[in-house]
Amino acid sequence: MDIEEGGLTVSVPEARDGASEGTGGGVFFNPTQELNRDVTVATLRAYRDREPRAASYLDAMAASGIRGVRAAAEGYDVTCADVDDEAVKLAAANLDANGLDGEAVHRDVNALLYDEGPFDVVDLDPYGTPIPFADAAFANGRNLVCVTATDTAPLCGAHLNSGIRKYGAVPRNTDYHPEMGLRTLISALVRTAARYDKAATPILSHVSRHYARTYLELESGARAADDCLDGVGHVDHCEDCLWRAATRGHIADPVDACPECGSDRVLTAGPIWLGPVAEPDFARAVRREVTDDMGEAKRARKLLGTVARELDTPTHYDQHRLYKEWGEPAIGMDEFVERLRGAGHEASRAHYRGTAVKSTASVPEMREAVLGGDGD
Ligand SMILES: C[S@@+](CC[C@H](N)C(=O)[O-])C[C@H]1O[C@@H](n2cnc3c(N)ncnc32)[C@H](O)[C@@H]1O
């Protein structure tokens, strides 16, 4: 069937039995990823101002080629790759039907990257984890590597062993899953890029319940890679009082007891990424590139606006969880954030959950700020 996306008409497989993910005809298409694709196009537009020399774009897991088609419409020199012959034919037909240049190739993307790289922009959009493709992408990417991961359970520690195996890190199943998942992913990608003496700095990231997406800008050089690795470290988390502390460095010092409440139920996660997951100015620039012909323009603008304002802490608190601890009825989120700021703390909402709050304040400081004398 034909669908309209971003002002283009693209032929995609029909979803079977009303499933949201189409696999009819063997080729994959997920209509619910339109937001991800709209943000990708806006990012490709904004990235051109940042790095005008970025010209080639590899849609590394093309399926219908919808990402490649949209990138080609932006003037990028596109290669769509897939190991599925039907997907390659469909991607080629979609480029052709839209009168766009670009090629669709039947290749394993790891081999293609080593044989035909470097590509200026490499877009990894796999089933599940991107890790089997990360080495080739960072070894043969020049400017920007865009990565989707849909294996959120391993990433956030809900499937701990799978997370340890895939990401070479210990993610912990805390009450800040989206941050944990995203930061486990970025840590693994940064460490992979460092193997090739490259710094991979996240300039934009967003997370939902079903996937994490991050855009990493590359800089070659051992010194740059070393500096980037400084953003990796550990988070200690008390399961009883919600205390947490982030420490940079490759080795985590053991924490036997929580310094706040004395509990020995302290989890340590890492190595995870503790640096910024987005550059606020770049997120604003991407937001300006969202156009009304995008089906998810409204959500994309809201998402990018929140990402641009989001505080850069590696964990967040769930406001409802805090009030449950405090035995008080929750107040509105905006008021909550305002009270924290009014008490002199940095605070913001987070883009992935309506009840998520980020703050530099500790739990007792937050309690004091929002409940004051009422909570005693
Ligand atoms: C999740 S789909 C991609 C969806 C697509 N990017 C979109 O936006 O609709 C993953 C695709 O990766 C392809 N794939 C899996 N392993 C691959 C490999 N080693 N090299 C190239 N493509 C591969 C699969 O055939 C499948 O079409």
- The interface predicted TM-score (ipTM) is 0.99
Averaged confidence pLDDT in the chain: 94
Same domain for 155 and 119 = yes
The span from the CA of 142 to the CA of 150, in Å, is 24
Same domain for 271 and 330 = no
Same domain for 91 and 38 = yes
Same domain for 183 and 167 = yes
Same domain for 215 and 275 = yes
Q: Domain span at residue 95? A: 2-309
Same domain for 110 and 182 = yes
The domain boundary residue, chosen from 255, 283, 309:
309
The domain boundary residue, chosen from 256, 279, 309:
309
Confidence class for position 254, pLDDT limits 50, 70, 90: confident
What is the arithmetic mean of pLDDT over 252-272? 93
Same domain for 168 and 284 = yes
Q: How many domains does the chain have?
A: 2
pLDDT in tens, 214-230: 999 999 999 999 999 99
Q: Ligand 1 within 6 A of 81 CB? A: yes
Same domain for 26 and 163 = yes
pLDDT in tens, 103-130: 999 999 999 999 999 999 999 999 999 9
Sheet with strand 77-82: strands edge to edge: 103-106, 77-82, 56-59, 119-124, 141-149, 212-220, 198-207
The domain boundary residue, chosen from 274, 309, 344:
309
Amino acid at 199: A
Kindly tell me if the per-residue pLDDT of 375 is higher than 80.
no
Q: Ligand 1 within 6 A of 211 CB? A: no
Cis geometry, peptide bond prior to residue 178 (ω within 30 degrees of 0): no
Q: What is the CATH number of the domain that holds 252?
A: 3.40.50.150
Residue 347, H or E segment? strand 347-350
Nearest ligand 1 atom to the CA of 123 is 6
What angle do helix axes 363-371 and 319-326 make, rounded to 10 degrees?
80
Kindly tell me if the per-residue pLDDT of 20 is higher than 50.
no
Percentage of residues of the chain with pLDDT beyond 70:
96
Going from the Cα of 52 to the center of ligand 1, the distance in angstroms, rounded, reads 28
pLDDT in tens, 152-177: 999 999 999 999 999 999 999 887 88
Same domain for 284 and 208 = yes
CB 149 within 8 A of CB 128: yes
Same domain for 273 and 328 = no
The span from the CA of 116 to the CA of 126, in Å, is 20
pLDDT in tens, 45-83: 999 999 999 999 999 999 999 999 999 999 999 999 999
Same domain for 354 and 239 = no
Q: Ligand 1 within 6 A of 70 CB? A: no
Is 45 annotated in a binding site? The answer is no
Kindly tell me if the per-residue pLDDT of 264 is higher than 60.
yes
Burial per residue of 176-192, b for 16 or more beta-carbon CB atoms within 10 angstroms, e otherwise: bbbbbbbbbbbbbbbbb
Going from the Cα of 60 to the center of ligand 1, the distance in angstroms, rounded, reads 7
Whole-structure pTM value: 0.95
Q: What is the CATH number of the domain that holds 332?
A: 3.30.56.70
What is the arithmetic mean of pLDDT over 260-283? 96
Same domain for 273 and 252 = yes
Kindly tell me if the per-residue pLDDT of 17 is higher than 60.
no
